[in-house]
Amino acid sequence: MKPTINKDRINVIDLIRGFALIGLPFLNVLVLWAPHVHLSGTQGDILVQRFLYIFVEGRFYAIFSFLFGLGIWIFITRAKEKTNHPYALFIRRMLILAIVGGIHQIIQPGEALLVYAILGLPVVFFDRLPRWINLTLGIVGIMIGSYLGVKVFLPLPLMILGIAFGQYRIFETYIKMRKIWVMVAVLSFVATTISAVFLWLKSPTLGLSFEGVKLSEAQLASNSAFYDMTDLSMMLAPIFSVFYVSFLVLLEPLMKKWVSPLNSFGRMAFTNYIGQSVILAIIAIFIPDGIVVSYTVSTITCAIVVIAQIIFSSLWLRFFKYGPLEWIWRCGTYGKWLTILK
């Protein structure tokens, strides 16, 4: 008989989710503030752009997709213990997510929630497969998708891998597996360092210039080289994601108190993800036409937004059980009014 899943929140998952959420607005802002964000021409701005495409692009969405798959497994496993119709409950949950994602598309075209809701419907049934099959499908799918550079394909194997991690109960036993996590962290750190240095040196000195204006021959050549670098960067993205996750797994038991604000941020991921888009979209309204916003300014703005949300989440969860959107999602899923106050 399989052991009953832990009913308590697994703090390390919230921590990883909060960390993943930190990285999302820094590149989403390029869509939300288009066509204002361009290189300012300074070396510092070029370095900020390079940093984002090497250390952020593709890394945080990968973690978010993986955690979504893990969340699917946790939800359906607990639902099976509560009701005779767990999949019907899950379908309702995904329909609500799809509606919110569809509305969110108006603010941020290409956002992830609608895609997650669509993929979640077939992915949930992977919980019926043996865990070793899901683990194999997830790893192989990620390797193929990364090698081919097909970013839109990657959420599917990442979600399947998340289900496999749930089936193996990796994050319920992570403290007992500390030695393995240390080994993974060390190896991925070495691989990440080598990859980062390689990509940094591969990056063109002029960065990626806006293509909506007439560019010089040097800028065109730099753009071409930059696209080549980003293709390689996407191939290596899983290495970075593994290091980020393994580092957080090792950090959580050592610094529980210090990282608790990030846990709160992760617990309210639904609210904060939508909130980031709304805040940045409102700011975009006040950017005059023809004004160029540098990568540095957009990055600093996103950092301020994230810090504000972390503080807000910590304060909110002192008085409430769930974030606002999490509560609405939960009420809609179960079809009843739930208490939000602690």
Helix (H, G, I), strand (E, B) or coil at 214: coil
What's the pTM?
0.93
Classify residue 5 as left (phi > 0), alpha (psi -120 to 50) or beta: beta
Residue 212 pLDDT class (50, 70, 90 cuts): low
Looking at the predicted structure, is the pLDDT value of residue 221 above 80? yes
9-27 mean pLDDT: 94
Distance CA 52, CA 207 (A): 12
Helix (H, G, I), strand (E, B) or coil at 244: helix
The answer to whether 274 and 325 have CB atoms below 8 angstroms apart is yes
Residue ranges per structural domain of the chain:
11-207+216-334
Tokens of 151: 């970013």
pLDDT of 6 reads 57
Residue 4 pLDDT class (50, 70, 90 cuts): very low
Closest residue by Cα to residue 64 from 22, 107, 10: 22
Model confidence over 269-292: pLDDT tens digits? 999 999 999 999 999 999 999 899
253-271 mean pLDDT: 94
The answer to whether 73 and 163 have CB atoms below 8 angstroms apart is yes
Beta bridge partners of 37: 293
Residues 6+ positions from 293 with CB-CB distance below 8 Å? 33, 36, 37, 38, 287
Model confidence over 133-182: pLDDT tens digits? 999 999 999 999 998 888 889 999 999 999 999 999 999 999 899 999 99
Looking at the predicted structure, is the pLDDT value of residue 1 above 90? no
The answer to whether 13 and 64 have CB atoms below 8 angstroms apart is no
Distance CA 149, CA 236 (A): 10
